[in-house]
Structure 1
């Protein structure tokens, strides 16, 4: 896997909110001249959703899935002062600092299970990825997948790693499988799970996981009420993912049985 090198850019223009997202992400322009979809640290699930989004996205990239470039985005306090919409004004105010951006794909369409095509290997890899990161939000109701240039692109992994909303019990999740995979939108197309598994374990090991987790901004790991230190949280994410990789056969069998 290539070394992870996440760029940091500054937001220079707030363009429009994306109201279909529950957390009110928005299209913004950065100082590199590109457009991004920004996920705000001040939204509902806060910085933990950004961590899930980041780890999930970089793991997806590591196993060869299409993911828009992820960047860290600095937002200053000038935007909230000129925003007329009160809800957005508050969101911008609470999101000053480092947020997460996904490169904006123009003319993209949302994946529709009834009309969009996806090949069996890609579908199988997405199913395994979502088992590994315990992503509860890739269902027919909300696919969190895009079609762009006739290819499937992975977005929105923010509902993964739900154990981090209660660090006191996180160790209980290490030995658990992921029964909710039965609701996965791509499960019917995931017909080569064994082949996909071989590719996943070739590409994801402890070094890859550690490099991704160590790239999480320190600031995202500081939350009022969390009793673990940032280093302890990093160690927990690494331990959780390594445990899931070690029981990947169980996760694959669970998905196959659910199919």
Structure 2
């Protein structure tokens, strides 16, 4: 399945670019002893039970680092640059344990602080990237189960923050939280200027994030967002 395995390689992958809630997580994985673990594959090709089982084996046999980028960083930087940040943090964590050598990363056009080569669909081609995809995915899924305990209305234990019908319906009923990616369109259109003011005044979000979101919402002098204005115009039969 994989190309010829070079055990000097460090593999890097991420999990959680598409969700509306929670961090993006990256993992960097290195196998110093050349361990070949049966069943390792792209995390998307594995069911949850197999991912969990392989995760435990990988973290016991590999040297690995994990990095995250918060929803706030996603909103301020955008998801692409937040992914780069999470990957750099994963490599920083790994660098505390081993010298960083050859790095292969899943994706394209990513610019990391360490010399790295991007491999499109690398999680199905490179053994270490596949292992990193499992570590990142399971780590993030476990975080979502923890968040579910605090925010049970959104079904995070099941949807892991992705925009499922259940999650979207809960957003309409309950509104977003500061742990949502507020710049993502399905969440952004539900925000009000009043809610943002409350969050920034209570320091639940930073001023940088607040300012970025106010610009995205195109808030007018009366505190109306572009979505509220469009909704009002539509109800009046305007354009």
**Same fold judged by TM-score > 0.5?**
no
TM-score by length of 2: 0.28
**Higher RCO structure (Cα 8 Å, ≥6 apart):** 2
TM-score by length of 1: 0.27
More helix by share: 2
